[in-house]
């Protein structure tokens, strides 16, 4: 009788052991995949913001790509059983056990650098990428403001594609034009088409004929120096064969877009006074605020302490730079910047040496 009970206890321990092992894989996959996903998304955003801040201070950006994550789980169990036989004649059995799971993750980092990455980083955004972003549902205003330095006769702060300029750039007329494009987009009266041949790639924006007599179209054509009744806007980058009616454009590079957005980052006043940051001035010598250019695109604020409710934040030079979680326009622009980054640099593999770090035991 006693032996039968002991055998039952042993079988119970064995069943508990194997049930724990069988549940380990699916359980850890369910929890850890989500955790790693969240960690990668958060740290990617932090790295992108950090590099924007670095450019604001004229420091070199650097990107580390997570090229590999390996995680090993060790499942350990122990069990014990005991029995006592008191004078009462009753048999008293005891069962004990323990189980533990130990994770050992290893993360491998690869720096994005080398000639191939630099070429992609400095190469102008192609028209087909601009078309792809537009067709993905992004605001035409947001896409053109980030990606273009020039639209026909209109300048979009071309000097902003590098370190902060000392003099205020020209941007006002360009801003008026792209805001009209956005208004027409929200009215669902424009469509874009990509025309590609062996020699050229052009982006054509067409306005529906029902908007022909609208004030917006007339204003747009006046700004772009086109016939007042024009409804087709052909954006071209090939200047070798200039054709009447086409809008020749200059696109920014990925680095140029990051510089463009970095100028509007809020910084401590002492950094301006000490000369660490360039103070841009207008033609009268008065201080120029970059919020006039990028303030409705991306606002990166700064303060001495980290905010727990920020969308993304980084510490740089003993100050916290962050995007407010309620600032939807800034979050949209930041997300668009991330997509442009992967369009331009996402196909580049990190080069050796890699940095492999065991982050747990």
What is the Cα–Cα distance from 247 to 225, expressed in whole angstroms?
10
Query: Cis peptide leading into 359, omega within 30 of 0?
Result: no
Q: Looking at 85-198, which runs of residues are DSSP E strands? A: 92-111, 148-151, 154-155, 190-196
Could you tell me if 302 and 324 are in contact, meaning their C-beta atoms sit under 8 angstroms apart?
A: no
In this predicted structure, what is the pLDDT of residue 321? 96
List Cα–Cα distances, 295 to 155, 299, 330, in angstroms.
18, 6, 9
* Percent of the chain's residues with pLDDT above 70: 73
What is the Cα–Cα distance from 104 to 89, expressed in whole angstroms?
50
Confidence of residue 351 (pLDDT cuts 50, 70, 90): very low
Could you tell me if 222 and 173 are in contact, meaning their C-beta atoms sit under 8 angstroms apart?
A: no
Over 60: is that where the pLDDT of 25 sits?
no
Domain ranges for the chain: 2-55+62-113
Confidence of residue 353 (pLDDT cuts 50, 70, 90): very low
Confidence of residue 120 (pLDDT cuts 50, 70, 90): confident
Q: Which residue has the higher pLDDT, 31 or 130?
A: 130
For 113-117, 225-229, 263-267, 306-310, which range has the lowest pLDDT when averaged over its residues? Answer: 113-117
User: φ, ψ for residue 102 (rounded to 5)?
Assistant: -120, 130
Could you tell me if 330 and 314 are in contact, meaning their C-beta atoms sit under 8 angstroms apart?
A: no
Q: Which residue has the higher pLDDT, 94 or 36?
A: 36
In this predicted structure, what is the pLDDT of residue 32? 66
pLDDT single digits (tens) 97-111: 565 656 666 777 777
Confidence of residue 5 (pLDDT cuts 50, 70, 90): low
Which ranges of 187-279 would DSSP assign to H, the alpha helix?
Answer: 215-223, 254-262, 269-273
CA atoms within 13 A on the CB side of 318: 3
In this predicted structure, what is the pLDDT of residue 308? 79
What is the Cα–Cα distance from 213 to 207, expressed in whole angstroms?
11
Q: What is the pTM of this model?
A: 0.80
Over 60: is that where the pLDDT of 20 sits?
no
């Amino acid at each position: 009788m006693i032996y039968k009970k002991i055998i039952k206890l042993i079988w119970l321990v064995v069943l508990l052991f194997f049930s724990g092992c069988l549940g380990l894989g699916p359980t850890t996959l369910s929890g850890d995949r989500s955790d790693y996903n969240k960690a990668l998304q958060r740290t990617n955003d932090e790295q992108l913001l950090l590099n924007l801040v670095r450019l604001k201070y004229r420091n070199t950006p650097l990107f580390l790509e997570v090229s590999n994550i390996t995680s090993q789980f060790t499942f350990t169990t122990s069990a014990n059983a005991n029995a006592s036989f008191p004078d009462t004649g009753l048999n008293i059995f005891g069962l004990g056990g323990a189980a533990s799971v130990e994770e050992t993750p290893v993360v491998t980092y690869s720096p994005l650098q080398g000639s191939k990455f630099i070429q992609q980083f400095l190469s102008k955004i192609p028209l087909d990428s601009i078309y792809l972003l537009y067709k993905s549902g992004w605001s035409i205003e947001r896409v053109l403001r980030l990606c273009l330095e020039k639209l026909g006769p209109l300048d979009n702060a071309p000097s902003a594609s590098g370190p902060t300029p000392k003099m205020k750039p020209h941007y006002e007329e360009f801003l008026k034009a792209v805001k009209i494009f956005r208004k027409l987009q929200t009215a669902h009266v424009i469509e874009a088409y990509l025309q590609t041949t062996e020699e050229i790639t052009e982006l054509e924006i067409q306005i529906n004929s029902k908007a022909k007599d609208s004030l917006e179209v007339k204003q747009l054509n006046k700004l772009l120096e086109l016939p007042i009744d024009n409804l087709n806007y052909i954006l071209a980058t090939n200047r070798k064969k200039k054709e009447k009616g086409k809008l020749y454009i200059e696109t920014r590079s990925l680095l140029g877009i990051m510089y463009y957005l970095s100028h509007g980052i809020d910084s401590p006043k002492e950094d301006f006074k000490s000369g660490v940051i360039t103070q841009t001035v207008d033609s009268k010598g008065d201080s120029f605020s970059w919020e006039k250019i990028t303030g409705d695109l991306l606002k990166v604020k700064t303060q001495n302490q980290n905010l727990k409710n920020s969308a993304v934040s980084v510490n740089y030079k003993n100050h916290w730079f962050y995007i407010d979680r309620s600032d939807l326009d800034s979050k949209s622009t930041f997300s668009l910047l991330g997509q442009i980054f992967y369009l331009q640099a996402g196909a580049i593999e990190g080069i050796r040496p890699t940095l492999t770090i065991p982050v747990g035991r």
